[in-house]
Chains A and B, each alone.
Chain A
Amino acid sequence: MSSDAMILQNTGTASPPWTVTLHEWITTVDHKRLGILYVLYALVFLVIAGIEAMIMRVQLMYPHAHFVSPQVFNRMFTMHGTTMIFFVAMPVLFGFANYLVPLMIGARDMAFPRLNAFSFWLTAFGGFLLYFSLLGGSGLYGAGNAPDVGWWAYAPLAAKAFSPGHSSDYWTISLLVSGFGSIGTGVNIVATIVSMRCPGMTLNRMPLLAWLNLVMAGMVLIVITPLSAAQIMLLIDRYLGGHFFDTQAGGSASLWMHFFWIFGHPEVYVLIIPCFAFISEIVPVFSRKPIFGYPVMVGATVCIGFVSMSVWAHHMFTIGMNPYANSFFTVTSMVVGVPTGIKIFNWLGTMWGGRIQFKTPMLFCIGFLFQFLIAGLTGVMLASAPFDWQLGNSYFVVAHFHYVIVGGILFALFAAFYYWFPKVTGKMLSERLGKLHFWLFLVGFHLCFDLMHIPGLLGMPRRIYTYEPGRGWDTMNLLVSIGAFIQAAGTLVFVWNMIISYFRGKIAGNDPWDAWTLEWSVSSPPPAYNFTAIPTVASRRPLWDLKHPEDPDSRYE
Chain B
Amino acid sequence: MEPVPAASSSFLEADRLALQIGERWLCCEFSLSLGAGECLVLLGPNGAGKTTLLHTFAGLRTPTAGTVRLAGRPLGDWASGEVARYRGLLPQQQPDHFSSTVLETVLVGRHPHLGRWGWESAEDESIARGALQDVGLADMDRRDILTLSGGERQRVAIAALLAQAPRLYLLDEPTNHLDLHYQIQVLELFRRKAGNGCAVAMVLHDINLAARYADYIILFDGRGGVVAGTCEQVLQANRLSHAFGHPLERHGLDGKSVFLPV
Q: Do A and B come from one complex?
A: no
